[in-house]
Structure 1
């Protein structure tokens, strides 16, 4: 398994903390937020990771290096250097994918650097969640207070349109096949800014986007207050399921 970590955002809502430090390097419980993901991926057997960067990207490269200390190889998709700024989620994914070197329809992990899910298991059992014919598979969490309307519905193991029924929030963690990009983003030019949501909706329309709930602790580290809550206590918007 390989992985792409999306770490290019400016982190406007985290200012002034992100004025001089990129959001993925803000420290949560003693270590940079992105390192929680790298350590989790390494435990799951992932050995090749691409990190996309833009804002203060040289700090991310200098901090993480080539990935050797995590037991993996890290490459960088330098959107700041190459395009003058972040390409957003879909544009960033399209630029980063060739660096990952995946072949055929082998799935890869997609991880948003600004979420906190330290107990997530990136091992083979989770990686097998994506079914034949699916372009992606998302892990959903209960809707946090700052996002009460959620993102998607969930029915029969598939992500669905949230049409007024029960809805869930995408955790920022998922599996995708290369054809999610190659098929659905064929018209998106390399280096063009674009958000991921329309392409997720296209996969839902084709009934090719799987989904399941994540019952572990999770937080969207979107504001200084949420970051402080994580450091001062549990602070997870969704608590781990009882043992």
Structure 2
């Protein structure tokens, strides 16, 4: 299996820490955020990881190298000076993710600016539909959630107790079938390369009954601000010290 780590964001809410360091390369609990992911990916047998980059892009290769220290092959999908957002970034990286692979094979996707104790080995090796998302309890900064999870594992756009998408999931290239028709004249969709979010694609998949997932009830942090980074670092330090 291959994986993509989203690491191209500008990290504007994290400034001034991200003025000179991309957010996924910030350290927490003694490791860079992205290194927590790389260790987990290597542990479940992922062989190749694509990291999409934009802001301060050279630092990723300079810091992480070719991935050999984790037993991985790292490749970098550079998006230019302006990030392509999640949908555009994934579309841009698809040739790398599908190179020589079964076009229907799922690949793992993870946001580079989250921390979690979720075990990537719990992800299913096979699933029906276009994507499988790990959901978490709604954080204070996102109280309305994203998707409703039913007892059969299907995700729905509406419901009384929606959960938040964690930024971890399995995707298939079929998620992008007819993406231009779906987005129409949405801002950024007509640019070259296109710049758009995966959200409309995921919502369309949910409406077609092709979006599945699970609820992770463990620890998860969207490390979006210096305060949340500091809080997480302190919590991990406390846990490490018993």
Give me the TM-score of the superposition, normalised by structure 1.
Answer: 0.88
Q: How much has 1:122 moved relative to structure 2? A: 2.2
1:222 matched residue in structure 2: 224
56-65 or 189-198, which deviates more: 189-198
Q: How does 1:6-85 map to 2 (within 5 A)?
A: 6-80=6-80, 84-85=81-82
- 4+ aligned runs moved over 4 Å, structure 1: 186-190
Task: Tell me the number of residue pairs that the alignment of Structure 1 and Structure 2 aligns.
Answer: 226
Q: Secondary structure of the residue that 1:97 maps to in structure 2?
A: helix
Q: Secondary structure of the residue that 2:103 maps to in structure 1?
A: coil
Alpha-carbon contact 1:91-1:193 (below 8 Å) kept? yes
Q: How does 1:143-222 map to 2 (within 5 A)?
A: 143-155=138-150, 156-163=152-159, 165-181=160-176, 183-185=177-179, 191-222=193-224
- Among 84, 90, 93, the residue aligned to 1:96: 93
Give the Cα separation in 1 of the matches to 2:11 and 2:43. 28
Q: Secondary structure of the residue that 1:233 maps to in structure 2?
A: helix
1:152-190 Cα offsets, whole Å, 9 max, x none, are 111121111134x00100000000112112x14355566
Give the Cα separation in 2 of the matches to 1:224 and 1:144. 16
Q: Aligned-pair RMSD on alpha carbons?
A: 1.6
Q: Secondary structure of the residue that 1:173 maps to in structure 2?
A: strand
Alpha-carbon contact 1:40-1:120 (below 8 Å) kept? no
Unaligned runs of 5+ in 1: 236-243
Alpha-carbon contact 1:184-1:199 (below 8 Å) kept? no
2:186 matched residue in structure 1: none
